[in-house]
Chain A
Amino acid sequence: MADRELYFADEKALRKWKRRKVLSQIGVYTFLTILAIFIIIPFYWMIATSLKSNGEVSLPVPTLFPQEIMWENYALIFKQVTSFGRYFLNTIIVSFFTTILVVITTVFAAFAFARLKFKGRDTIFMLLLVTMMVPGEMMVITNYMTVSVFGWMNTYQALILPFGVSVFYIYYLRQTFKSIPNELYLAAKVDGVGDFKYLFKVLVPIAMPAIVTIIILSSMGAWNALIWPELVANAETMRMVSNGLMRALTSEFSQQVNLQMTASAIVTAPLFVFFIIFRKYIMRGVSRSGIKG
């Protein structure tokens, strides 16, 4: 602050500048608060409605706060849709194994592209980056055939395997590996450390924050998966949360707005908890995707 004051010729100019600054700060905070409210309203409305009674949601003028808090709505969801717990379990299973697969494929591939020398390395890598632009629908059509031919309809492998590699994460981790000084690699070479040993003893520990980010972002992905599971895993016992929720909203709860909101809140809650715990990693991973390399 002090150095800024040097810019002004006299006291008057400084005071004028300070006053303008205060006014503009008030404006900025007002603007941000209004938009923050715009962001929060749907969350508030979801929770508020989820705790209302059947009678209260059909009032012509909605109440801002539930007159009587109906915690039992939350238990009712699992009672009315008995497979709701199953949807969660399926999602957790798929998310867990997809993430393991993603980490394995990403760490090795990123290592190969960042440190190993082989013919056509950069060409292959460019080719991979180009595929990021191809709409997933191109793959979905043939993969749907493949799953059908393999007899994998309504199996976990159909939900897991096609998502076992992420080109974006390979790119992300490769950049991280590349930013680790080459001297470490040369030193390891001199000491006679093999390439893979170097990967696990040096690169992986140093790049751990990036790997954790990948783990978190990848495990969140399953929570929002909708299209692919809808195609290949539509049996009651194989459904994932998004699909199960969609089904429940249009059948069991199609007439009960409060229970629709309760079910939505239940599906949103785990992601929220996850976000609050891993906020730093999630936001770093997402913002990193915007940096060009």
Chain B
Amino acid sequence: MEKEVQTVQKESFVSKFKKYYQEHIQAFEAVLALAPAAIILIVFMFFPLVNTFIMSFMEDFRFVNKGGIFAFGHSFSSIGFGEYIDVLRNPDFLKALRNTSIIVVVSVPLTVIIALFISVAMNSIKKLQGVYQTIFFLPYVTNTIALGMVFKVMFSTNSGLINTIFGTNIAWLTDATKNGYWSSLVVLTTYIVWTGLAFKILIFLSGLQSIDKQYYDAARIDGASRRRIFTKITVPLLSPMIAYTVITSFIGAFKSYSDVIAIFGGGPNTYGPPGNEKMWITVVGFIYDQLPSMMTRGALSRASAGAVILLIIILLITIVQFLVSKKRVHY
């Protein structure tokens, strides 16, 4: 109370001090507020990130429980790029890289384009919009393994729904030969598109609903055709959402694993029909295949090198798409 009567100069000092103190109080509070998240993030995210990165350079890394959680507590032969070279020569990894690229190239454009058409169609109707929206969203809230099994049953060779409808007799998921490779890609793609549409439709629809109706009215006055309206108005104005969806689905598709496991339905290390279990192995699958044998020499460093390569691929895709979308996307 008495302080209030003191000189102006002193008051400003007090307020300065108060302000300084206030800032520190906030910093202190921030430490408290961030502590719960920080502890978990440091132990289960930032530390593992660095640790895995280090392990990828440790050739013949061998994990033993008493070595502790740090990479350096365990035995390894040398430090270098040896593990990367081994992984890049590993036939399973090369196969995984090829498979994953095929999955990405086939499924991403297909899903995005179908989702785009569905969203535009849905945006142009008034009645039943909610019903369609709910139906198209359903695959988002299902269990991957359960629905993968349903696809397996639908595509079964004998008494399967698909073969019956089309009057064919294709061994969709049970043919271990080259033909089986492509026929299972059909099933895999169908499943990925089926599960992937929901998210993209929702994003596109919220984007479409934010487009100003005046553009369409203006186009209609000028007598623009439907196709022209779509390519000259809808797509450009939706391009931020399209770019976002394409990037996230590229990354998602590069991390494919559960979808493949689900449609072959043979357990965690089965990526193909009996007789060719590694047929559709993916990069993530390759990494996970190493983990159960973590105590054997080189298993974890191999997995780590694979994971770092995956990270690099994802970074490259993101950078390339950012550069492309910078030129093409209208914000």
Contact = CB atoms under 8 A, between A and B. Distances in A.
Interface centre among A109, A196, A272, A289 (most CB of B within 10 A): A109
Nearest to B294: A144
A61 B164 contact: yes
Nearest to B140: A286
Contacts of B240: 292
B287 A141 contact: yes
Contact of B202 (A62, A134, A249, A287): A287
A129 to B, nearest CB: 12
Contact of A119 (B27, B46, B284): B27
Interface residue range, chain B: 35 or more
A105 interface: yes
B144 A35 contact: no
Contacts of B202: 283, 286-287, 290
A286 B137 CA distance: 10
Contacts of B141: 220, 271-272, 274-275, 282
Contact of A143 (B31, B44, B140, B156): B44
Contacts of A42: 147, 150-151, 154, 194
Nearest to B158: A60
Contacts of B220: 7
A290 to B, nearest CB: 4
B207 to A, nearest CB: 7
Given A133-B251, A286-B202, A46 B150 contact: yes
Contact of B164 (A62, A150, A196, A224): A62
B271 to A, nearest CB: 14
Interface string A206-224: 0000000000000010011
B194 A39 contact: yes
Interface in A168-201: 170, 195-196
A190 to B, nearest CB: 13
Interface in A216-267: 220, 223-224, 226-227, 230-231, 241-242, 245-247, 249-250, 257, 260-261, 263-265, 267
Interface centre among B32, B45, B240, B304 (most CB of A within 10 A): B45
A283 B137 contact: yes
Nearest to B45: A139
Contacts of A67: none
Contacts of B153: 45, 49, 257, 260-261
A246 B267 contact: yes
Nearest to A106: B37
B17 interface: no
Interface string A48-80: 010000000111111000000000000000000
Contact of B136 (A39, A148, A164, A263): A39
Interface stretch (B2-10, B89-97, B311-319): B311-319
Interface string B194-222: 10010100110111000000000100110
Interface string B55-99: 100000001010111000000000000000000000000000000
Interface centre among B30, B142, B206, B292 (most CB of A within 10 A): B30
A268 B145 CA distance: 10
Given A36-B135, A112-B34, A134-B49, A245 B146 contact: yes
A156 B115 CA distance: 38
A141 B48 contact: yes
A102 to B, nearest CB: 10
A12 interface: no
Contacts of A137: 255, 284, 287-288, 303, 306-307, 310
Contacts, number: 288
B1 interface: no
A128 B40 CA distance: 13
B61 to A, nearest CB: 10
Nearest to B160: A62
Given A139-B44, A268-B143, A290 B37 contact: no
A289 B252 CA distance: 15
Contact of A227 (B138, B146, B244, B257): B257
Interface stretch (B102-110, B116-124, B170-178): B116-124
A192 B284 CA distance: 53
Given A141-B304, A148-B65, A133 B318 contact: yes
A204 to B, nearest CB: 13
B144 A224 contact: yes
A32 B311 contact: no
19 contacts: A31-B117, A31-B121, A32-B121, A101-B40, A118-B31, A131-B49, A133-B318, A135-B311, A142-B52, A145-B69, A161-B40, A162-B40, A223-B143, A231-B292, A264-B149, A267-B145, A272-B141, A275-B137, A282-B141
Given A42-B150, A290-B202, 16 more contacts: A7-B217, A39-B138, A42-B154, A61-B164, A111-B33, A121-B30, A128-B41, A133-B315, A141-B48, A161-B40, A224-B143, A231-B291, A245-B149, A249-B149, A290-B244, A291-B206
Interface of A: 4, 7, 24-25, 28-29, 31-32, 35-36, 38-43, 45-46, 49, 57-62, 101, 104-106, 108-109, 111-112, 116-119, 121, 128, 131, 133-146, 148-150, 161-162, 164-165, 170, 195-196, 220, 223-224, 226-227, 230-231, 241-242, 245-247, 249-250, 257, 260-261, 263-265, 267-268, 271-272, 274-275, 279, 282-283, 286-287, 289-292
